[in-house]
Amino acid sequence: MLKGIENIKSGSGAENSSKNIYKKFLANSTLRQLDSHDSLNISKGYRILKEYNIDLKRFKKNEHGLLEIIFDISAIEFSTLLNLDNLTNYIKLDYKLNLINEPDTFVVSISTRTYYSENIDNYLKINDIVYLMSRIKSLNVGSEINLSNTRALSNLLDGVYNAVLSEFNMINSILVKATKNIFNISIKILPLSELENELLLIEKIIPSNEHSIQITQ
């Protein structure tokens, strides 16, 4: 029914009013033959993302049936894959992050495991993720740093681990809440006894030039 939405860009001024942005949200989708119920679902999901100033660049199922989500917040680009067939209250999302204004610096891979909540704060702040990215930038990474350098990666989270995890918890819940509205699906509620602890792990940091090579190979 719903295939996805991609290449959505928000802005300011009359030309990019909320109404025009929403039209673009629909116009750039691969949705076909929507009924009124579908439209209401999409509108509700869109409003959830817009409320938190999440600037979507891609929101579309890939060839493997996973939902590709790429978005910008606070000059950072986030990209992740969401499995719509296994949506539970325990969210496992792996991200790639890079600095929008400095795309030639690095790409960081971060794994997150968080609990889903419908009760989300009214305002999304990612000050600690921004701070983490500035820490990584200060390393002037010249070659890949991965889990074989566990101490180097864990040191980056010293003093900010819980704060960064909390921000990803909110981002994950926002994405899942919007997605389940857009696709009109429910999430499976697992009992607390089956849930693992919440987790944040930096898996690797790659200079942008090496990341580009890996993509083209």
**For 76-94, what is each residue's pLDDT tens digit?**
999 999 999 999 999 999 9
Mean pLDDT of all residues belonging to the chain: 83
Whether residue 74 has pLDDT greater than 70: yes
Helices 18-27 and 36-51: angle between axes, nearest 10 degrees: 120
**For the chain, domain boundaries:** 64-216
Q: pLDDT by residue (tens digit) across 184-198?
A: 899 999 998 878 899
Q: Identify which has the larger pLDDT, 27 or 188.
A: 188
Q: Confidence class of residue 183 from pLDDT cuts 50, 70 and 90?
A: confident
- At 124, the amino acid letter reads L
